[in-house]
Amino acid sequence: MWRPIRRHLLQGVLLGPTVSHLALLFSFTIMTALRRIQKELKDIRDRPIDGLTVEPDDDNLFEWKCTIKGASDSPYKSGTFHFTLSLPENFPFKAPSVTFKTKIYHPGINEEGHICVPVLRDQNNALTMEYAIVLVIIQEKLNNPSPDDPFAPEIAAQLKEDKPNFLATAKEWTKKLVLIAVIRRLLC
C-alpha cells in the first residue's frame, strides 16, 4: 500500500513542483481515507452487530467482505448471505457500493447482486454516514423484504400480489443455499 504512495512522491520530487503537489494531495487523500476506514472498522468491532460479520480484504482495505445471517422470523432463516462493501477511491467523499455474492430471492436485490439502499444513493450522506448504521440498514432490508423501492420488480410484484407464494419461493431458495453450503463443507 505504501510503495505506490512513496513512488508517486518520489516521482513528484523528480518531475517538478506541480506533480509533487499532486502526489502530496493524493497521499493526503489516501491517508484521510485510510484513517476513516480504520475508525469505521474499529467502531464495528467495538460494537458488533448480531447476525452480521465484516472483514476487510487482506490486500485491500477498500473492499470489505460481509455476511448476514437470515433472521429466524424471515423467509431467509438459516441462510448466510455474503456481500462486499466496496469503498471508492475518493472515499469518504463518495458512498460505497454493495454487491451480494450469494444469490437471493429478494425484491430489493437484483440478479447482479446490487441492493437498493436509498442512503447509499444520496451522495450528500457519504461524508457523515456511519458504516455500522449502513450495515444495519442492509441487514434490515434483507430480513424484511418490501415491494417498495424494488431492484427486482417481478419479485416485488409477487410479494405485493401473492405474498404466500413469494415467502414459499424465498424459503425454498434459502433451503437450497443451506444445502449447498453443507455439501461444500462435507467435501472440503
| CATH code, domain carrying 179 | 3.10.110.10
Residue range 138-145: mean pLDDT, rounded: 96
Give residue 57's pLDDT. Answer: 94
Give residue 164's pLDDT. Answer: 97
pLDDT band at 24 (very low <50, low <70, confident <90, very high): very low
Strand partners, 56: 64
Residues 6+ apart with CB under 8 A from 74: 142, 143, 144, 145
Residue 74 shares a structural domain with residue 32: no
> In angstroms, rounded to a whole number, what is the distance separating the alpha carbons of residues 35 and 106?
35
> In angstroms, rounded to a whole number, what is the distance separating the alpha carbons of residues 150 and 114?
11
**Distance between start and end Cα atoms, the chain:** 33
Residue 79 shares a structural domain with residue 136: yes
Residue 178 shares a structural domain with residue 96: yes
> In angstroms, rounded to a whole number, what is the distance separating the alpha carbons of residues 95 and 82?
20
User: Does residue 14 register a pLDDT over 80?
Assistant: no
Give residue 8's pLDDT. Answer: 47
Q: Which domain holds residue 35?
A: 1-44
For the record, the C-alpha cell of 112 comes out as 447482479
Residue range 83-110: mean pLDDT, rounded: 91
Pick the catalytic residue from 54, 116, 159, 177.
116
pLDDT band at 21 (very low <50, low <70, confident <90, very high): very low
CA 77 to chain centre: 20
Residue 14 shares a structural domain with residue 67: no
- Decide if 116 is catalytic: yes
pLDDT band at 6 (very low <50, low <70, confident <90, very high): very low
> In angstroms, rounded to a whole number, what is the distance separating the alpha carbons of residues 56 and 64?
4
The total number of structural domains that make up the chain: 2
Give residue 149's pLDDT. Answer: 79
User: Does residue 132 register a pLDDT over 80?
Assistant: yes
Residue 129 shares a structural domain with residue 147: yes
Residue range 4-18: mean pLDDT, rounded: 48
Residues 6+ apart with CB under 8 A from 28: none
User: Does residue 183 register a pLDDT over 80?
Assistant: yes
| Beta-strand relationship, 60-69 and 80-86 | antiparallel
Secondary structure (3-state) at 122: coil
The residue ranges of DSSP E strands in the chain, in sequence order, are 52-57, 60-69, 80-86, 97-100
Residue 157 shares a structural domain with residue 125: yes
Residue 14 shares a structural domain with residue 88: no
What's the whole-number average pLDDT of the chain?
Answer: 85
